[in-house]
Structure 1
């Protein structure tokens, strides 16, 4: 099995946090988004992962440190890491085709801006599976249309009339991804463009037209990381799941607690000093931080940051920040100083 991860986007909706760190590498509940996504997919598949192909953007943005972290991620799953580049933002279909040398055999394609919780077996009768989630407002999403056999027969983007309430979440399984590769090559050759981009949906529709059977895989939870508000919500939900699972140590043994209170669930990284602080619930704090005379809840703080004399709620704070102040619902990017 292979996993293909297009992740070349800059994540403009998550600025300022994505100004210095690519969005898929921003930690949620203690791990980068793309790391959690790939590990969760590998867990769901429950079979050996042969290769993980990452499609990155400009090397000036996705540099050697990013490549190294992704190689380590693949190695931790016993897989080979393949690195490809998408030099222009030409859409989902174009991004996949940047990894064309890896497009063979069974594969999962997953876009690195979402997290899931799921537990199911892939349908052996299906040529492909599209992960979906039941939603309350399907008109705001791309949805699948099903026939009487519960096979996907159409993909409809933001339907004006009700088609179904099963939204496409951006994760796909192909029994043989080379079939998708052939259809996407036709999309590129015929210059089939929607919204100025080459879309994966046109390749999928080409497969459907040739009789390939698509089924749905429904996830229990679908968590977005598109902007500050939903990323904080995702951090909160993921912390709850991790606490319930009991599979990860959420508070590092090296945390120094001086007259401070931790209200679970929280993730607190290595070498953190808590002094006269109340942390939690639903807080993630990265490595090497100092939190002093401060209350923090429902917030996400990255690495090497110092927070003093604050009362924070629904805050998102980047790396190497110094903050001393009274505001609560703040969003501060890397290397900022407010004293």
Structure 2
């Protein structure tokens, strides 16, 4: 069995960060979102992985190949994203006649895919999709189940009157018949080949489409708020691991990596993850904060935020619920801050 992980697209909802980096490479808890998908696939016993790349292909390749994965990884260029079903068309030669899982690279699934894959195989389905109950099904693709609840009867995209509250999660299992399906659908009103249309083609032509329900949390990290949500959820599961000596006051679960310097005037209240070669002086690092490698923070309070590598934050007052890009600088804070929120692109500079 193979895996097809999607890491293309322009990431318009995450601009300005995605002007300079691929959205699936933005870190959550100091790990690129894309890596969570790769780890899930390998955990499920799949060791042949094709990664769909687009505008920032070289950036994705360099980042993925910086790690030693227990898998053979190939990169497949899609060009302009024309829908999820189009990605399958582009990967046709790579996929051959193997079963495969298609995993959207900006999704994070707490429980992984092991049990979902087992259901697909044991049920001998032609396709199987992951579903999760949501309070706002009008904003998602929604599944209508068969009377016995075992298979999918119909898929509806963003319905005004949803037939259920079961939204499609961006992970799909397919047998090779999906290649026939994607060849037989037409572009939607968005001028894209929709994967929901391809699955509906399978249903309409008598093929069996199964489903499994996500029991843990799932996040589509397509917007800044979603990234911060995912960061909180992942940090909730960390265990303390401090690889340096420091006299800082540390409370709760905290990870601090090698080479980092934190002075005795700093307070850290977990859950917090701090990367390598970070310098923190006379600051407060509050819960649900991730700080990337080579960051400098001085005379500042940071809470519930993601700080990407190589950033510099000095005298910036209190920063909350923020997403700070690589190499960004925030300098000269006022003495009586009321709390500031940022989404800063890479190499930004803010004077306060």
The TM-score with structure 2 as length reference comes to 0.86
Q: Describe the superposition over 1:156-202 as per-residue Cα deviations: whole angstroms up to 9, x where unpaired.
A: 1122223111100111012x2x2111211222xxx443421111122
Q: How does 1:1-339 map to 2 (within 5 A)?
A: 1-43=1-43, 45=44, 47=45, 49-58=46-55, 61-63=56-58, 65-73=59-67, 75-76=68-69, 78-103=70-95, 104-118=97-111, 120-121=115-116, 122-123=118-119, 124-125=122-123, 126-150=125-149, 151-174=151-174, 176=175, 178-187=176-185, 191-219=186-214, 220-243=216-239, 250-259=255-264, 260-310=266-316, 311-324=318-331, 325-326=333-334, 328-339=340-351
Q: 1:144 Cα deviation (Å)? A: 0.8
**SS where residue 238 of structure 2 aligns?**
helix
**SS where residue 255 of structure 2 aligns?**
coil
Distance 2:198 2:136 in 1: 26
Contact 1:118 1:218 in 2 (8 A): no
Distance 1:249 1:262 in 2: 8
Contact 1:6 1:96 in 2 (8 A): no
| Runs of 5+ unmatched residues, structure 1 | none
Q: 1:13 Cα deviation (Å)? A: 0.6
**SS where residue 68 of structure 1 aligns?**
helix
Count of aligned positions: 325
Distance 1:192 1:24 in 2: 25
Distance 1:282 1:84 in 2: 35
**SS where residue 168 of structure 2 aligns?**
strand
Q: 1:263 Cα deviation (Å)? A: 1.0
Distance 1:250 1:195 in 2: 44
Q: 1:304 Cα deviation (Å)? A: 0.6
Stretches of 4+ aligned residues off by more than 4 angstroms: none
Matched residue, 2:243: none
Contact 1:55 1:96 in 2 (8 A): no
**SS where residue 74 of structure 2 aligns?**
strand
Distance 1:72 1:231 in 2: 23
Q: 1:25 Cα deviation (Å)? A: 0.6
Q: 1:72 Cα deviation (Å)? A: 4.6
The TM-score with structure 1 as length reference comes to 0.90
Contact 2:53 2:60 in 1 (8 A): no
Query: Judging changes above 3 Å, is the alpha-carbon distance between structure 1 residues 257 and 241 closer, same or farther for their aligned structure 2 residues?
Result: same
Q: 1:296 Cα deviation (Å)? A: 0.5
CA RMSD of aligned residues (A): 2.2
